[in-house]
A and B are shown apart, each in its own frame.
Chain A
């Protein structure tokens, strides 16, 4: 079972690029890496998912090194509305025990 470790909190400023790294040393061969954003009193919102190398969509990029023991979520040009908790999730279809880490509280300042 993979277990994730993320920084508890991070601060940044509007317009900056923010990178949040997640460690998952025990990731299994068939595990995907998924990132979610959560605002208070709401369900998590899917941001991006990847298996290896780099994935990019309209809101973020996900970098995964060859050993897959970590991953980095990159948010370009953040705004105040990006202030939220970000979770890294590692899991696969056959593994129902999808383990959520503590998440990273990201605070964006003006």
Chain B
């Protein structure tokens, strides 16, 4: 149980393109979903937290107009990197949590490369 699917697993695109990443909880309803960014050999960096039907809460330093998060249902959240540039290249990981005292369950991540 507690499976989270993240798609796509990798994407390569040109600078200026917008990229959408999907995160789905397959066998549970996720009250809260999280989006992380991870650089090589570093820990996870929380970008934003979203509750279904509400606006996402962004961490300090994360541009909300750059990284658009939508959590339209209890099983789906999307992260859109708008007008992506090479410095946005990274490993993006989503997680989903059923309730407050439950652990997060993670997708397998999306490797984003902007040329």
Task: Give the B-binding residues of A (Cβ under 8 A).
Answer: 32, 34, 36, 41-46, 49, 87, 92-94, 96-98, 100-103
CB-CB contacts of B91-115 with A at 8 A, as 1s and 0s? 1011100011101111111010000
B6 part of interface (Cβ distance < 8 Å): yes
List the A residue with the shortest CB-CB distance to B43. Answer: A100
Interface SS of chain A: helix, strand, loop or mixed?
strand
B111 — which chain A residues lie within 8 A by C-beta?
41
Task: Collect the chain B residues with CB atoms within 8 Å of residue A49's CB.
Answer: 103
Q: Assuming A43-B93, A93-B100, what are 19 further A-B pairs, CB within 8 angstroms?
A: A34-B103, A36-B106, A41-B109, A41-B111, A43-B4, A43-B106, A44-B44, A44-B95, A44-B106, A46-B2, A46-B103, A46-B105, A46-B106, A94-B100, A98-B46, A100-B43, A100-B44, A100-B45, A102-B43
The answer for the CA separation of A32 and B34 in the assembled complex, in Å, is 17
Q: State whether B100 touches A92 (Cβ < 8 A).
A: yes
B94 partner residues in chain A, CB cutoff 8 A: 43
When the two chains form their complex, are residues B109 and A42 in contact, meaning their CB atoms are under 8 A apart? yes
Question: A103, B43: Cβ atoms under 8 Å?
Answer: yes
Judging by beta carbons under 8 Å apart, are B43 and A101 in contact? Answer: yes
Say yes or no: A97-B46 contact (C-beta < 8 A), given A43-B6, A46-B104, A92-B100: yes
Q: Tell me, in angstroms, the Cα distance from A36 to B104 when the chains sit together.
A: 10
B107 nearest in chain A by CB position: A43
- Which of chain A's residues have a CB closer than 8 A to the CB of B46? 96-98, 100
CA distance A93 to B49 in the complex (A): 11
The residues in B between 1 and 42 inclusive whose CB is less than 8 angstroms from any CB of A are 2, 4, 6, 34
Chain A residues, Cβ within 8 Å of B105: 46
Which of B6, B91, B100, B106 makes the CB contact (< 8 A) with A45? B106
- Give chain B nearest CB distance to A7 CB in angstroms: 14
Q: Cβ of A34: which chain B residues have Cβ within 8 Å of it?
A: 103-104
Whole-angstrom distance between the alpha carbons of A32 and B97 in the complex?
Answer: 14
Q: Give min CB distance, A89 to chain B, whole Å.
A: 8
B57 at the interface (CB under 8 A from A): yes
